[in-house]
Amino acid sequence: MSEASGPPTRTPLRIEPNDNLGELEGYHSPQVDVEVRLNTNESPYAPPAEWIGDVVAELERIDFHRYPDRHAVELRSALAELHGVTIDQVFCANGSNEVLQTLFLTYGGPGRRAAVFEPTYAMHGQIGHLTSTSVVVGERGADFLLDLTEVKRVVDAASPSLTFVCSPNNPTGRAEPRPVVDEVLDLVVSRAQGLVVVDEAYGQFSSWTALDLVADDRPLVVTRTYSKTWSMAGARLGYLVGPAEVVAALQQRVLPYHLDALKQRAGLAALRYSSQMEARVEALVAERERLARALHELPLETWPSDANFLLFRPIGRRGDEVWQALVDRSILVRNCGSWPRLEDCLRVTVGTPDEDDRFLATLTEVLA
Ligand code: PMP
C-alpha cells in the first residue's frame, strides 16, 4: 500500500450489540495516573507479607493442568465457619460484582424487576440493565438513608424479584439501622415474592452486620468482598451468605469452573490472617474519623460514614472544578457529580495517614 493512500478503510461489521447498557454507559471511575489514588475504596495497605508467601507456596502445589474444584469446597467451608453458617449457605465468585451478576442471572431477566434506592451503588442498576431486568428506582430520604414509606411504595408498585439494600451505602456512606433492614424484609415477604440483597461490601467498617439475619427460611442474602478489608481487590473474590436454596440456584447458573484454583487457595489463605485484617479495619475506622473531623473544618457539606470513604460537597464551588484541581496536584478522588442528587459531590477513600494528610493539605489549598 502506498503511503499516500492513508490508513486502510475497514468495512464495519454488520452486527449490532444489544442496547442493554441503559443510561450507564461510561459510568466507570477514570484510572488517571496520579501519586495519591483515593477514588475506588480499596485498602491503602498491601496484604500481609506472610500471605504473599502462602500464595507463592500454593502456586507450586496447584495442578494447573486440571480444572479447579468446581464447588470451591475448602474456601466455602472456611467462610461458613467464619460466619457460623453451613457450606451450602455460601456462594463464592470473582468479586462481589460477579455475585451480584449471578443473582441477576438467577432471579432477574426479562419480565422481572429489581428495586434500587438512589443514590446508591451504580452496578446494581447496571447489571440489571445488562440482564434485561427492569430496574425500578426509589428515592432515599433526605439524609440518604432508606425511607420505609418509599420502600413500601416501590415494593407495592413493582413487586421486585430483587430489592437492594446497600449497607453501608456507596457512595453516601451510612449503614442502615437493623430495624430498617428487618422492616424491608417484612415488606418484601408480605408484598412481593422476592429476595432482599444486603450489599455489605463495606460491612466490616460498620458496627453491625445483617449476616445474623440469614436463615434458610428467610429470603435475604448478604454479599461481601475481599476487595476492601482483605486488601485483595486485585484478586477479584467475593461471596454471598444466604439460604441454601438460593446458593444452589446460583451454583446452577454461574459458569462452570469460574473461580480459578489459585484464587480459591489465596482466599482460603487470607482467612488465616483475620487478626491482621481486623487491626487494619480498626486503624482505617480511626483514620476515617480523623479525616471526617478535618473535612468538617473546611467549607464543605459533609455526611457521616460507616464505610472506608467519605462524601463531601464543596460550598460555593463546582465539584468538577475542585476534582480537576486535585487531579492537577496528583490526587484522585471520585467525582460523584453525575449520580442522582449528588450534584457537585466528591467521595474520598480513606488512605494511609500520609496520603490523607496530603489530600487534606491540597484540598485546603484548592478551596482557599
Ligand atoms: N458493592 C459495592 C457497594 C461496592 O462499592 C463494590 C466495589 N466498588 C462492590 C460491590 C464490588 O466489589 P468487588 O467486585 O470488588 O467485590
Q: What is the pLDDT along the chain (368 residues), one digit of tens a residue?
A: 445 566 778 888 888 888 888 765 545 677 789 999 999 999 999 999 999 999 999 999 999 999 999 999 999 999 999 999 999 999 999 999 999 999 999 999 999 999 999 999 999 999 999 999 999 999 999 899 999 999 999 999 999 999 999 999 999 999 999 999 999 999 999 988 899 999 999 999 999 999 999 999 999 999 999 999 889 999 999 999 999 999 999 999 999 999 999 999 999 999 999 999 999 999 999 999 999 999 999 999 999 999 999 999 999 999 999 999 999 999 999 999 999 899 999 999 999 999 999 999 999 999 99
pLDDT digits (tens, 9 = 90+) for 150-164: 999 999 999 999 999
Q: Cα–Cα distances in Å, from 30 out to 33, 37, 38, 350?
A: 9, 11, 12, 18
> Residue 264 Cα, ligand 1 centroid: separation in angstroms?
19
Residue 10: per-residue pLDDT: 82
Chain length of the chain: 368
- Beta strands at 195-199 and 220-225: parallel, antiparallel or unpaired: parallel
Question: What angle is formed at CA 193 by the lines to CA 188 and CA 198, rounded to 5 degrees?
Answer: 50
Q: Which residues contact 229 (CB under 8 A, 6 or more apart)?
A: 43, 204, 205, 277, 280, 281
**Ligand 1 atom 4 nearest Cα:** 201
> Residue 225 Cα, ligand 1 centroid: separation in angstroms?
7
Residue 26: per-residue pLDDT: 47
What are the percentages of helix, strand and coil residues in the chain, rounded to 5?
Answer: 45, 15, 40
| One-letter amino acid for residue 210 of the chain | A
pTM for the complete prediction? 0.95
User: Which atom of ligand 1 lies closest to the CA of 96?
Assistant: 16
Backbone angles phi, psi at 351, to 5 degrees: -110, -155
Residue from 362, 364, 351 nearest 37 by CA: 351
Q: How many CA atoms lie within 13 Å of 52's alpha carbon, on the beta-carbon side?
A: 6
Residue 23: per-residue pLDDT: 65
**Ligand 1 atom 2 nearest Cα:** 201
User: Where does the chain show beta strands of DSSP type E?
Assistant: 36-38, 90-93, 113-118, 134-139, 162-166, 195-199, 220-225, 238-241, 300-302, 309-314, 331-335, 346-349
* 258 Cα distance to chain centroid: 19
DSSP state of 13: P
Residue 2: per-residue pLDDT: 47
What is the C-alpha to C-alpha distance for residues 366 and 368, in angstroms, rounded to an integer? 6
Angle between helices 95-107 and 122-130 (to 10 degrees): 50
Which cell numbers in the block locate residue 252? 446452577
Bridge partners of residue 211, in order along the sequence: none
DSSP state of 204: G
Bridge partners of residue 310, in order along the sequence: 348
Cell 428515592 belongs to which residue? Answer: 139
Which cell numbers in the block locate residue 157? 408498585
Which residues does ligand 1 sit against, CB inside 6 Å? 41, 95-97, 121, 166, 170, 199, 201, 225, 227, 233, 238
Residue 1: per-residue pLDDT: 45
> Residue 175 Cα, ligand 1 centroid: separation in angstroms?
15
What is the C-alpha to C-alpha distance for residues 311 and 266, in angstroms, rounded to an integer? 32
